[in-house]
Amino acid sequence: MFPLTEENKHVARLLLSTGTCPRCIFRFCGVDFPAPYKLPYKELLNELQKFLEIEKDELILEVPNPPPKKIRLQELEDGIDGTDNLSQNGEGRVSVIEDGSTASKNSNLNVCNVCLGILQEFCEKEFIKKVCQKVEASGFEFTNLVFSVSFPPQLSVREHAAWLLVKQEMGKQSLSLGRNDIVQLKEAYKWITHPLFSEELGVPIDGKSLFEVSVVFAHPETVEDCHFLRAICPDCFKPAKNKQSVFTRMAVMKALTKIKEEDFRKQFPCPPNSPKAVCTVLEIECAHGAVFVAGRYNKYSRNLPQTPWIIDGERKLESSVEELISDHLLAVFKADSFNFSSSGREDVDVRTLGNGRPFAIELVNPHRVHFTSQEIKELQQKINNSSNKIQVRDLQLVTREAIGHMKEGEEEKTKSYSALIWTNKVIQKKDIEFLNDIKDLKIDQKTPLRVLHRRPLAVRTRIVHSMETRYVDEHHFHLYLKTQAGTYIKEFVHGDFGRTKPNIGSLMNVTADILELDVESVDVDWPPAVDD
């Protein structure tokens, strides 16, 4: 059933006569359900022609010779623009820079003066198929997708002009048309294209999907349509560092709500002029949201930093905990990059023993995302077989939200350490036994000199919950400590030139230093243990 009624005839005839396409006519007539928009374009034209009782030779949207710049999709083998400009790079991004316009093989239509061809050429199955070919060639693994589009901001100006025209004509009949009565272009476009994408790719469209296919349109011919708005509403067009142009869709929309109707009409034609060419496709981009892998690591080397150790551009050590783990994950997940985080960090010369330190890795734009628990176990084994400096356990996929557990109440958590202590004075076993009786010792730590270059100067109060000693010889003993997370253990031993008070040296009235330090446990109950 044709969606327009007798009362729509006047508006439909007016818009058609000024160069507006059938689907945009539906939008201005308030057709707010998908079915009519999904009809093939030629069928729509024929139905509209019958409805308006227009002969074929009167239908101004039909012309015998299409503009020569249009590129026929039937000729395209490798890309939308026929010159292989639509090329895929390693990041799953496909870019198109076109000299002409993109049109279907059956293109014999004038370009809509409102949507600039968006609801004409770019809704047809042939265009959707070409986009889907690029999606499938991008190498991403996905079971659903979100489809997003970016339209040129001048479409808002043209729609505003068409609205003022229709509003004026309807006013003559004592009818009204509010700005919100018009079906949004993006809404209509998705009504048409979503089912076509689902059918072609065999997966549902899901607004919550982590896999996104985005298409960016541009229309160079009409790019100056927005420029008059800046002179009238300069406050709406302020430069932003991350924007190439001040004429963003949001800025244009804001200006259109401020400008008076009479001022708009003086500056911009109502109806808008018909363009010569349809929009161009600037970019088709495929991207997958980050996935997260967590686990615990043990570090057995006293010559391995947690993260790459680079000073003034010069690498000091060949590897790091981060790289020994992440390099394998990057390769298997086929991700572009990663971000490593952990529950605290140990110095390059400190081992991490016991159950290990919790860590999480964000894998950015992964191309592979589906793994069985067995595959994750095999990946863990591969990491562990690759180096004797670290071992990983409890490797698992987690959500972004779950990572918060690793950081929750971080300073209230406890950590246990063992240290080998040297003293300048000769000591006996009885000289260290009093340390075993000290509980919940409060210490004040001024930012250590060794980290002052990367941490702000402050005095932090920390608690040493308990200590246990084991005598070795006249100048050495083992010290086992349980402390509040964030305690600087080395400074608690030697005092850092009086910047940590009290310290082992001051408590024993000796000069003390730390020779070896091990992290014995990080008391964070995350991630959950995984059965071997």
Mean pLDDT of 41-64: 71
Q: Which residue has the higher pLDDT, 385 or 69?
A: 385
Q: Is 359 exposed, middle or buried (0-12, 13-18, 19+ CB in 10 A)?
A: buried
Q: Tell me what pLDDT residue 74 has.
A: 33
Q: Which residue has the higher pLDDT, 77 or 306?
A: 306
> Which DSSP letter does residue 205 get?
B
Q: pLDDT (tens digit, 9 = 90+) per residue, 347-382?
A: 999 999 999 999 999 999 999 999 999 999 999 999
* pLDDT cut 70: percent of the chain above it: 89
- Predicted confidence band at 2 (pLDDT cuts at 50, 70, 90)? confident
Q: pLDDT (tens digit, 9 = 90+) per residue, 112-158?
A: 999 999 999 999 999 999 999 999 999 999 999 999 999 999 999 99
Mean pLDDT of 14-35: 95
Q: Tell me what pLDDT residue 135 has.
A: 97
Q: Tell me what pLDDT residue 424 has.
A: 97
The residues that bridge with 483 in the sheet, in sequence order, are 415, 464
Has residue 79 got a pLDDT over 80? Answer: no
By DSSP bridging, strand 87-88 and strand 93-95 are antiparallel
The per-residue pLDDT of the chain, averaged, comes to 89
Has residue 59 got a pLDDT over 90? Answer: no
Residue 527: cis peptide before it, omega within 30 degrees of 0 = yes
> Which DSSP letter does residue 526 get?
-
Contact 466, 481 (CB under 8 A): yes
Contact 116, 222 (CB under 8 A): yes
Radius of gyration of the chain from its Cα atoms, rounded to whole angstroms: 34
Question: What Cα–Cα distance (Å) separates residue 212 from each residue in 146, 286, 465?
Answer: 5, 6, 50
- Predicted confidence band at 82 (pLDDT cuts at 50, 70, 90)? very low
The residues that bridge with 419 in the sheet, in sequence order, are 479, 517
Mean pLDDT of 273-279: 95
Q: Tell me what pLDDT residue 312 has.
A: 85
SS3 421: strand
- Predicted confidence band at 409 (pLDDT cuts at 50, 70, 90)? low
Query: Which residues are designated catalytic?
Result: 347
Q: pLDDT (tens digit, 9 = 90+) per residue, 428-455?
A: 999 999 999 999 999 999 999 999 988 9
- Predicted confidence band at 55 (pLDDT cuts at 50, 70, 90)? low
Q: Tell me what pLDDT residue 127 has.
A: 95
Handedness of CA 48, 51, 55, 60 (dihedral sign): negative
Q: pLDDT (tens digit, 9 = 90+) per residue, 448-487?
A: 999 998 899 999 999 999 999 999 999 999 999 999 999 9
Quote the tokens at residue 366: 């992964």
Q: Which domains does the chain have, with CATH numbers?
A: 6-54+110-225+268-287 (no CATH), 289-411 (3.30.70.2510), 414-522 (3.30.70.3190)
Q: pLDDT (tens digit, 9 = 90+) per residue, 482-529?
A: 999 999 999 999 999 999 999 999 999 999 999 999 999 999 889 999
Contact 211, 289 (CB under 8 A): yes
Q: What share of the chain is helix, strand, coil (3-state, %, to 5)?
A: 35, 25, 40
Has residue 93 got a pLDDT over 60? Answer: no
Has residue 67 got a pLDDT over 80? Answer: no
Contact 481, 417 (CB under 8 A): yes
Has residue 97 got a pLDDT over 70? Answer: no
Q: How many CB atoms lie within 10 A of CB 325?
A: 24
Q: Tell me what pLDDT residue 239 has.
A: 85
Mean pLDDT of 159-188: 92
Cα separation of 392 and 378, whole Å?
12
Q: pLDDT (tens digit, 9 = 90+) per residue, 305-337?
A: 999 988 888 888 989 999 999 999 999 999 999
Has residue 230 got a pLDDT over 50? Answer: yes
Cα separation of 520 and 279, whole Å?
63
* pLDDT cut 90: percent of the chain above it: 78
Q: Tell me what pLDDT residue 108 has.
A: 52
Residues in Cβ contact with 408 at an 8 Å cutoff, skipping those fewer than 6 apart: none
Residues in Cβ contact with 136 at an 8 Å cutoff, skipping those fewer than 6 apart: 201
Q: Tell me what pLDDT residue 268 has.
A: 97
By DSSP bridging, strand 512-522 and strand 500-501 are unpaired
Q: Which helix (H) or strand (E) holds 492?
A: helix 489-494
Which of 59-63, 67-71, 72-76 ranks highest by mean pLDDT?
Answer: 59-63
Quote the tokens at residue 280: 């161009």
Has residue 85 got a pLDDT over 90? Answer: no
Quote the tokens at residue 307: 């993260």
Find the length of the chain. Answer: 532
> Dihedral (C-alpha) 489, 492, 493, 495: value to the nearest 10 degrees?
140
- Predicted confidence band at 86 (pLDDT cuts at 50, 70, 90)? very low
Residue 528: cis peptide before it, omega within 30 degrees of 0 = no
The upper half-sphere exposure of residue 191, i.e. CA atoms within 13 Å in the direction of its Cβ, equals 19
